[in-house]
Amino acid sequence: MASAMVWMPILEDGVFRFDASEPARAAAGPSLSFAEPWRREVVLLREGVDGDGPAVVPECEVVGDRGVQKVLIKLPSGTSFYGTGEASGPLERTGKRVFTWNTDAWGYGPGTTSLYQSHPWVLSVLPDGKALGVLADTTQRCEIDLRQESTIKYSASSAYPVITFGPFDTPAQVMTTLSYAIGTVPMPSKWSLGYHQCRFSYMSSERVLEVIRTFREKGIPCDVVWMDIDYMDGFRCFTFDSNRFPDPKSMVDDLRSIGCKSIWMLDPGIKKEKGYFAYESGSENDVWIKKADGSPFIGEVWPGDCVFPDFTSERIRTWWARLVRDFICNGVDGIWNDMNEPAMTTTTKTMPESNIHKGDVDIGGVQNHSYYHNVYGMLMARSTYEGMVMSSTAKRPFVLTRAGFIGSQRYAATWTGDNLSNWEHLHMSISMVLQLGLSGQPLSGPDIGGFAGNATPKLFARWMGFGALFPFSRGHSEAGTIYHEPWSFGEECEEVCRLALLRRYRLLPHIYTLFYVSHKKGTPVATPLFFADPQDLELRKVETSFLLGPLLVCASTLPDKGAHECAHKFPKGIWLPFDFEDSHPDLPVLYLRGGSILPVGLPIKHVGEASIEDNLSLLVALDENGKAEGVLFEDAGDGYGFTQGDYLLTYYVAEVHSSVVCVKILKTEGSWNRPKRNLNISILLGGGAMISSHGVDGEEVHFVMPSELELSTLVATSEIDLKKRLEMIRPIPDIDEPSRLEGAEVSRKLVELKSGDWFLKVVPWIGGRIISMTHLPSDSQWLHSRIEIHGYEEYSGTEYRSAGCTEEYKIVRPLEQLGEEESAFLEGDIGGGLVIQRQISILKGNPKILQIDSSIQARSVGPGSGGFSRLVCLRVHPTFTLLHPTEVVVAFTAINGSEQEISLEFEEVTLEGDLRPNGEWKLVDKCSGLSMINRFDQSQVNKCLLHWGTGDLKMELWSEERPVSKDTPLRICHQYEVTETCQIKTHS
């Protein structure tokens, strides 16, 4: 029975800790999310009266032998949910479910419920615009269930506290308060905010230098190039291939001479090989994770058999940090931690949960892997970060991590993992970056252009258009795909990429300032549109626009429409469009909020100069009162002088008096000397029009606003000029990637199978849906659905409408005649190198039997996954039409021998373990006297589900959920037969 949790105030006003009970509070493990874990344990002392209690008190129930703690938080109707960290799918999480279990999710889809990172955190925006944050502070696998309207449900084993932040007046206040608990992002070096170029892999020093020199020759900005695992000697960490990278220090010097940094990958898997210094050192120092029997755990990754450092021990983190320190001496500028979920070549894609970690007492002590799995990547990133600090106190570390936990932003940036080169992932990338920002991680971005698969020119250009404005901007592609450098897709795409990246570099002063604010206050760098007006309900689902402070980026993720052709929703107030004379159909449209001053750089003289600004420009958007303000943070671009006051924070203001605009400095902070530079000021007038004036930075600048007639003329002229420029632009060729599947996509033609006792109609262009299944001898139609809903379908995940079976699902080779047997073979691409195959056969040897043999096959799972796909579950999903709903039961003998009869009153029933049918179950229509028998191989079926609707019944078969490889598909082969009803035994 659920009961109210016990609470205490912590941290600051409005923050409360809740536990299931006082004993549960004492039993909870230490916090790994809090920057200073002790703060979670200390009651906030307040002067005078105890103060207000929490506005919301969660309810909690502890169930089962494992002590699963289920927490329920009910909020006002109309509440919108966000956060949940690195999550695919829509921006608003209302109606979704997430499982925090770090997973190598190569080729994930919008319905994938576990990705590479775990953030058991929900940001709730209440109907009135106020916001409440909720953190389940557990490292264990945790279910976050937001499917019930305005309700948060957490479920995880063992005792854990729930921390609430707020309600506060705005979502930004919640994020600031969260950062007080989990820490803020370290101030990044300015070069790390430039554009990054990566591939799996650039195979030699010569190729690396060729790529960067091509960027320079083509005038396309790029500050960083990345080395994937092929730079190593046999994938051994901390080594270099003597043939392909014989002198890495010399290569790095050449890169730096043309203004480019380098980042190198380090994985956690250390090759188990005598004579290999990292393995020998680790074995001597007893650093490896152990199996339950005390011997080192060995798992297969890129180098073959590997052992894994136990980063839960400070001693072992120091051992790794020293290796990193020595590695940095080769000229390494940054480190990339990959495969650190930890991932390996097994069906579970990770190590056994029974493995043992040494675990320092202050983070939980000796525990099995299930306790530390979700923080393994964060602890590795922490150790890598500390190694970089050891190597130089004059440089800010840059670490990128794939796996992480809430709080990882203290040590590393992140990216959204192995995404796909398609329009769905392009669209999803905006929401994923925003969700990470709303979960405390502001420095993130996707693989621009998509990692797996071949981008098309239009897709790549569009992705670069807005990807160039993400907090972290990196292009990356997988081995075996076409090259994804900006010039790889033709001149038109190259020009869009050049314009997009030059735009980023002009905006770097603003982006760098936003990171300083984020570092100090914990606010996200990129935020959803509703941050501008949390009370506007229409803004809460906007997924193609985002804010960079007062800068609004309006993008398009539609292949056939540019951003300037789309209708965009705006927050209330004045929003003025502008560009840098770089407008293009495949670039986002930029707007500045009235009342804002946006500091930007002037066009860069050459590329690779993210830390250099000789000049400055201010874009001014006046509000209705003729005022505007803005801020600019400047320092050396690297190092820690800013922490000692060696920085310059300038607050600019503008105001109109009697048609004269005065722009000046209101105040400054810091001791860094203001550069001697020219200042260009542009007043935005609307319609893209502006007037400009020049001066010297630090002095007042005055100029006269145009009259109403002059203003009208300027705006009209600007709009005409923009229209002409857009009309003159040469469009990017709309070339689609050829399908990897054999055969051609079928036309929209119904497929009919008629043989023996059965007549079926199949809609191949919508998920291969069977919409009619008629038993001819009895003239009974068991499936009768509209084309767009119901019928017989399959899904590739555990949630309804999960990745794979959507309206865009492609089917090939619809009909084959196999001898005299009537058979249709359907195959659909479900992304991530996977296909669903289904063969529908009316058996030649027994025409009374309809057989459906379905499987999820790995067609081209990427090498980055170790040969295994994301987690998938084959879900057979027939919706049978019931002519007599109250007279229908489902009857079967369970595996445990019991006879079962389930009727309408049960609504939904899930059958697992020994309660599953023993190989068959019957849909019995007592009124018609017919039974439809569904036979299956119980070894292929992990659970069965029944759900009664209004006049229909779903009888689902689910496989186990696991990754698949080319050799380990998921399969469910089952049969249908209609017979006359026999007597049914009933048991209470």
Catalytic residues: 338, 341, 418
Asked whether 253 and 323 are in contact (CB, 8 A), the reply is no
- Residues 887 and 878: their CA atoms lie apart, in Å, by 19
Asked whether 442 and 183 are in contact (CB, 8 A), the reply is no
Greatest Cα-to-Cα distance within the chain, rounded to the nearest angstrom: 96
Asked whether 278 and 270 are in contact (CB, 8 A), the reply is yes
Q: Is the peptide bond before 583 cis (omega within 30 degrees of 0)?
A: no
- Residues 126 and 413: their CA atoms lie apart, in Å, by 30
Asked whether 761 and 780 are in contact (CB, 8 A), the reply is no
- Residues 89 and 494: their CA atoms lie apart, in Å, by 29
Asked whether 171 and 212 are in contact (CB, 8 A), the reply is no
Closest CA to 762 of 829, 841, 849: 841
- Residues 415 and 460: their CA atoms lie apart, in Å, by 18
Secondary structure element (H or E) that encloses residue 180, with its range: helix 171-182
- Residues 892 and 984: their CA atoms lie apart, in Å, by 9
**How many angstroms separate the Cα of 65 from the Cα of each of 62, 75, 180?**
9, 30, 36
Residue 28's contacts (CB-CB under 8 Å, 6 or more residues apart) are 19, 137, 159, 160, 161
Instruction: Assign 209 to helix, strand or coil.
Output: helix
- Residues 461 and 492: their CA atoms lie apart, in Å, by 9
Starting at the edge strand that comes first in sequence, how are the strands of the sheet with 299-301 ordered?
270-271, 304-307, 299-301
Asked whether 650 and 632 are in contact (CB, 8 A), the reply is yes
- Residues 443 and 472: their CA atoms lie apart, in Å, by 6
**How many angstroms separate the Cα of 189 from the Cα of each of 194, 224, 511?**
10, 12, 12
**How many angstroms separate the Cα of 449 from the Cα of each of 629, 856, 863?**
36, 26, 18
Kindly state the tokens that stand for 653.
Answer: 């203001």
970 has which bridge partners?
856
Q: Within 13 A of 703's CA, how many CA atoms are on the CB side?
A: 14
**Helical ranges in 219-274 per DSSP H:** 248-257
Secondary structure element (H or E) that encloses residue 662, with its range: strand 660-669
Residue 40's contacts (CB-CB under 8 Å, 6 or more residues apart) are 10, 17, 31, 34, 137, 161, 163, 181
CA 655 to chain CA centroid, nearest Å? 42
CA 941 to chain CA centroid, nearest Å? 30
Angle formed by the axes of helices 205-218 and 248-257, nearest 10°: 0
Which residue reads 């809460």 in tokens?
A: 540
Neighbours of 667 (CB within 10 A): 10
Kindly state the tokens that stand for 197.
Answer: 């170029």
CA torsion 681-682-683-685 (nearest 10°) is 180
- Residues 100 and 156: their CA atoms lie apart, in Å, by 10
Beta strands per DSSP E along 832-926: 834-842, 850-858, 872-881, 888-893, 899-903, 908-912, 920-925
Phi/psi at 380 (5° precision): -65, -45
- What's the chain's length in residues? 988
